[in-house]
Amino acid sequence: MEPKYVEKAVIEASYESIGRIRSRLGEAAPRYYIETYGCQMNEHDSETLAGMLEKMGFTRAEDKPNADLIIFNTCCIRDNAERRTFGNVGFIKELKKENPALILGVCGCMMQQSDAAKRMMARFPFVDLVFGTNELAVFPQLLERVMEGERVLEIRDTEGEIPEGLPIKRNEGFSTFVNIMYGCNNFCSYCIVPYVRGRERSRRAEDIVEEVRRAVQEEGFTEVTLLGQNVNSYNGNGVSFPELLRMVNKVEGLKRLRFMTSHPKDLSHELVMAMAECDKVCEHIHLPVQSGSNRILKLMNRRYTREHYLELVRDLRENVPGIEITTDIIVGFPTETDEDLEDTLSLVREAGFSAAYSFAYSVRQGTVAARMEGQIPEEVKKARLARLNSVIMESAVGQNDKYLGTEGEILIEGRDTRGEPMMFGKLPSLKMVYVKGGEELIGQYRRVRINGIRFNSLAGEIID
């Protein structure tokens, strides 16, 4: 299905309400605070909400007690994410008592689940506005209705739209996100994302290149991460992901290009070669494996085998020298046995990940896995997670020796004040390097020689 692009002119019309809202809020610029849960998608959506709010004359508040408008952008990937959200929304009741004019909004993935939005409205009468993942572009109108005194719940089914030209207030720093696609079609059996983010749809390549150009040349960012749930299946008017990488790689002033997340089933050799040939594409890939057991991979509906995954790892290492691979792993998926876990552990040792994010399987209502027999008891999941984590750590730390004596370039990001104050930055491979130096280094790209290992990071000295 062709996505429907909602153009800038249409979106700009949605700001008609700006003046009216502002006049009602009085002279002082009203302040907003956005609390974001979940992945980079949500972070980036929050940057868009912030961009619209600033266009409406709001300024950012330092914390919740100083805000006139608080928005929770929620996540529902695992049940602890949900519990935290309900808890933190509950706390706002106290702030509302002190400031009855305070507006409270809740949005994001969790609100898109079957009855979560209604539950939120029912349980917390002081919530003024609830909207889903498809309402970003109409947020100004929704906010206006709230200002008129209405309690607004808006969750639309129109998941096919791609809003273009929304203002974005990017987080500070040197590295920023650009969305290349929305939604997901993969329906991994454990995962809620396809239900709350809708079907996969790709932005036009020229819109993406233009957004990267602006972020780099007009806003001063030097590192860009292209975002999608499965970037390997990007298809913007016939442009494939490897082709898109080559286009973005040409943006003048861009130093580093990253992307996430890659699905192993769609990782082509063509992409490996694009990574090898594009000078700005970093030597890193996040390639979630989820399990090392073919039986479990099949039940997860991942549509690749352990052998295929390890073949991809070989291809990447052969063609992209120095590449580091990171991953996501779930333990305790329904019917998982100790033997399946052993397969996962041996895959971790074989693949040589520099980092792996591990999760205990969390039942998501409405997904296929939630209905499977053989759900694993929580304490077994916990024990398996601990076992996995120690193997991940051992394997990751073992990878660090190869860096000793090597040279590379880091983007210096900040200062670590624990212990002896050190500056830190990342190699293209995402390995963190600590160096001596002052704050004036922040934002600079500097050559370093690695001369030590610090936890799972590296220590080095600046040599240019």
What residue ranges bind ligand SAH (CB under 6 A)?
A: 77-78, 190-191, 193, 229-230, 261, 263, 288, 290, 328, 330, 359, 361-362, 364
How many chain residues touch ligand F3S (CB under 6 A)?
Answer: 12
Quick check: 435 binds ligand F3S (CB under 6 A)?
no
Are 275 and 285 in contact by the 8 Å Cβ rule? The answer is: yes
In the set 193, 245, 312, 347, which binds ligand F3S (CB under 6 A)? 193
- Beta-carbon count within 10 A of 98 CB: 8
Whether the bond between 406 and the residue before it is cis, its omega within 30 degrees of 0, is no
Quick check: 229 binds ligand SF4 (CB under 6 A)?
yes
- The residue with tokens 């780099």 is 216
Per CB under 6 A, which of residues 13..42 are in contact with ligand F3S? 38-39, 41-42
Quick check: 186 binds ligand SF4 (CB under 6 A)?
yes
In the set 44, 96, 170, 197, which binds ligand F3S (CB under 6 A)? 197
Structure tokens at 78: 């695992």
Quick check: 202 binds ligand SF4 (CB under 6 A)?
no
d(C-alpha 199, C-alpha 259), whole Å: 20
Q: Annotate each residue in 163-192 with x if it binds ligand F3S (CB under 6 A) or - if it does not, as one string.
A: -----------------------------x
Are 33 and 64 in contact by the 8 Å Cβ rule? The answer is: yes
Which is nearer to ligand SAH, 392 or 410 (by Cβ)?
392
Q: Which does 187 bind (CB under 5 to 8 A by kind): ligand SF4, ligand SAH, ligand F3S, none?
A: ligand SF4
In the set 52, 142, 191, 226, which binds ligand SF4 (CB under 6 A)? 191
Q: Annotate each residue in 245-264 with x if it binds ligand SF4 (CB under 6 A) or - if it does not, as one string.
A: ------------------x-
Are 141 and 163 in contact by the 8 Å Cβ rule? The answer is: no
The DSSP bridge partners found for residue 154 are 131
In the set 56, 75, 341, 411, which binds ligand F3S (CB under 6 A)? 75
Amino acid letter, residue 285? I
- Beta-carbon count within 10 A of 382 CB: 13
CA-CA distances (angstroms) from residue 76 to 8, 54, 110, 363? Answer: 30, 27, 5, 11
Amino acid letter, residue 367? T
d(C-alpha 376, C-alpha 341), whole Å: 13
Structure tokens at 399: 């990878």
Which is nearer to ligand SAH, 33 or 359 (by Cβ)?
359
Which is nearer to ligand SAH, 131 or 190 (by Cβ)?
190
Q: What is the largest CA-CA distance in the chain?
A: 66
Which residues make up the interface to ligand F3S (CB under 6 A)? 38-39, 41-42, 75-77, 109, 192-193, 196-197
Which residues make up the interface to ligand SF4 (CB under 6 A)? 184, 186-188, 191, 193-194, 229-230, 263
